[in-house]
Amino acid sequence: MRKLKHAFVIGATALALALSQNVVAQDKSIIVASTTSTVDSGLFGHLLPLFKAKTGIDVRVVSQGTGQALDTGRRGDADVVFVHARSQEEKFVADGFGVKRSAVMYNDFVLIGPKSDPAKVKGSKDITAALVKIRNAGAPFISRGDKSGTHAAELNLWKIAGVDIAKDKGPWYRDIGQGMGAALNTASASNAYVLADRGTWLSFKNRGDLIISVEGDKRLFNQYGVMLVNPAKHAHVKKDLGQSFIDWLISPAGQKAIADYKVGGEQLFFPNATVPGA
Amino acid sequence: MNMPASVCIFSEELTYAVTNAIKFRGVEIVFLSAFWMLITGDPALYRIIGLSLYVSLTATLIAALVGLPLGALLALKEFRGRIAAVVFVNALMGMPPVVVGLAVFLLLSRSGPLGSLGILFTPRAMIIAQAILITPIIAALARQTLADLWVQYRDELAAMNVSTAGSVATLLWDGRFSLLTALLAGFGRACAEVGAVIVVGGNIDGFTRTMTTAIALETSKGDLPLAIGLGAVLLVIVIAINAIAWAIRRTGERLAGAA
């Protein structure tokens, strides 16, 4: 009985020690809230070792949809936010949560669909006409439904196409509320259409019968931006470390590293930090 | 606040993973690739396995320190509302990990009450979430085991005028071998869950990525063979730990001369 009490006391002490230590230890790391597309496509896996080798800074990436990543920044749970939805990013900065938005790179969205092509849109370069055809044919369509950048882009395209998706959606329109990879898996399992960023699509392995149905429309352009979370709102933000990550991303070295990342010989992201107005 | 998209309906993703993997020809090759990483000592894989074990074992230890005495108290202490308390603890066994994760997330967020600790998206946050998740499991199973034991001990301990704390200690010590099952159930739940750790840990590569969150990530990347292979590796590890625990129990029982 006494043994048990001893065990209890020793265990509790050890635990208290384990939980209290290294709260003080200041490591050289930052948290970056970014999107599923940058992580699932493998871009960060390529960039971060290069950045760490140069600066010794550990970048810890939490991958979320754009809307959620911005929320993480608003709550102060990240030092840097790296996302793709320009109007939301500008609002984030205007509201004082971010210091300044810098353009980093772009890629494009593609409409993915089954080989059998029930809506007859394959090979088209007109994304809005293709969406209208999908709606008219009632062909299965997977929507991210998670307030991500891709979801925002999809809703915007429906709007441009003149379709009021909130009113027009039927059983063919499936809102899954998950990340890009999950949406592609769902489309692959149910032979549905889905809007995806090209990077995630190129590195996605479970394609089944899916192919690119529509690409090359200017309206499918997908710009990424990066922002430091405002230290004036959240005093604990690691301002200097976060800023050095941003500075590196938009420096010639960082921009080259982005351009160098290829999957199957194909470049996934195109650096454009120096393009005015991007 | 939005719930992280990646945590929603994870079981659905797993179902896809399983059905799709079965469609793959040569599923055996799939398993081999993950086991090959295990055998060749892929450092990333070992870090993931190490973190899974560290987080879940620490959480089990904390949950045991709270849950075992709590279970013993519920078994032997007569008080008003005991049945309600027992029902409540039993019900908490069914708590969805994602809900626990979300609650801990809101607590530890920089904008939450414990935000100044700055431990969101760290292994420590994951330990806290898992400990909260499995404490009711350990308490409820311990109570069940010890209630049976208490029937045999009650009169004797009462006659010897042993205090409540003494009775709790006696029950826990004499029931220690049977209580191992409660601990294993708690540990099993901890290392199998993904909902809580992915919310509070953030699935950060090389820092908070566990077996289950790695499986979720590989599934979302469409690398279903690797996801299934990692699942098989996780299963093997859990079986090994259960086997070790069982061996300890048998040896202990023999040494203690108990039945």
Question: In chain A, what residues touch B13 (CB-CB under 8 Å)?
Answer: 178, 182, 185
Q: Minimal Cα–Cα distance from B173 to chain A, Å?
A: 6
Interchain contact, B13 vs A44, CB within 8 Å: no
Distance between CA atoms of residues B195 and A184, nearest Å:
21
The answer to whether B110 contacts A71, with C-beta atoms less than 8 Å apart, is no
Give residue-wise pLDDT tens across range A65-81.
Answer: 899 999 999 999 999 99
Q: What is the distance between the alpha carbons of residues B246 and B184, in angstroms, rounded to a whole number? A: 10
Distance in Å, alpha carbon of A186 to nearest chain B alpha carbon: 8
Within a domain: residue A66?
yes
What does the mean pLDDT of chain B come to? Answer: 87
- Interface confidence, given as ipTM, is 0.82
pLDDT in tens, A168-196: 889 999 999 988 889 999 999 999 999 99
Report the residue of A3, A4, A79 to disrupt the B interface, i.e. the one with the largest count of B CBs within 10 Å: A4
pLDDT of residue B3: 40
What whole-number distance in Å separates Cα of residue A80 and Cα of residue A98? 9
Predicted local distance difference test score (pLDDT) of residue B4: 42
Q: How confident is the model at residue A264 (pLDDT cuts 50, 70, 90)?
A: confident
Same structural domain for residues A116 and A209?
A: yes
* The pLDDT value given to residue B30: 55
What is the domain range of residue A118?
108-220
Torsion angles phi and psi, residue A229, rounded to 5: -70, 135
| C-alpha–C-alpha distance, residues A201 and A189, integer Å | 15
Q: Do B204 and A62 touch (CB under 8 A)?
A: yes
Q: Is A256 exposed, middle or buried (0-12, 13-18, 19+ CB in 10 A)?
A: exposed
Question: Contact B5/A58, CB-based, under 8 Å?
Answer: no
Q: Does A255 reside within a domain?
A: yes
Number of domains in chain A: 2
Q: What local confidence, expressed as pLDDT, does residue B42 receive?
A: 79
Same-domain pairing of A115 and A214: yes
Nearest to B204 among A23, A60, A185 (CB): A60
CA distances from B248 to B100, B171, B241, B258 (A): 32, 19, 11, 14
How confident is the model over B102-125, as a mean pLDDT?
A: 96
CA-nearest of A201, A217, A182, A211 to A263 is A201
Q: A212-236 pLDDT, tens per residue?
A: 999 999 999 999 999 999 999 999 9
- pLDDT at position A24: 41
Ramachandran sector of residue A154 (left: φ over 0; alpha: ψ -120 to 50; beta: rest): alpha
The answer to whether the CB of B59 falls within 8 A of the CB of B130 is yes
State which H helix or E strand residue A108 sits in. Answer: strand A98-114
- Residue of A2, A27, A71, A75 to mutate when probing chain B, most B C-beta within 10 A: A75
Q: Residue B2: its chain A contacts at CB < 8 A?
A: 67-68, 71, 146-147
What is the per-residue DSSP string for B136-192? Answer: HHHHHHHHHHHHHHHHHHHHHHHHTT--HHHHHHHHHHHTHHHHHHHHHHHHHHHHH
Confirm or reject CATH 1.10.3720.10 for domain B7-256, answering yes or no.
yes
- The domain that holds A260 is classified in CATH as 3.40.190.10
Condensed to tens digits (0 to 9), the pLDDT of residues A9-62 reads 665 565 555 555 444 445 799 999 999 888 888 899 999 999 999 999 999 999
Residue in chain B nearest A65 by alpha carbon: B5
Indicate whether B16 pLDDT > 90: no
Confidence of residue B179 (pLDDT cuts 50, 70, 90): very high
User: What are B48-58's pLDDT values in tens digits?
Assistant: 999 999 999 99
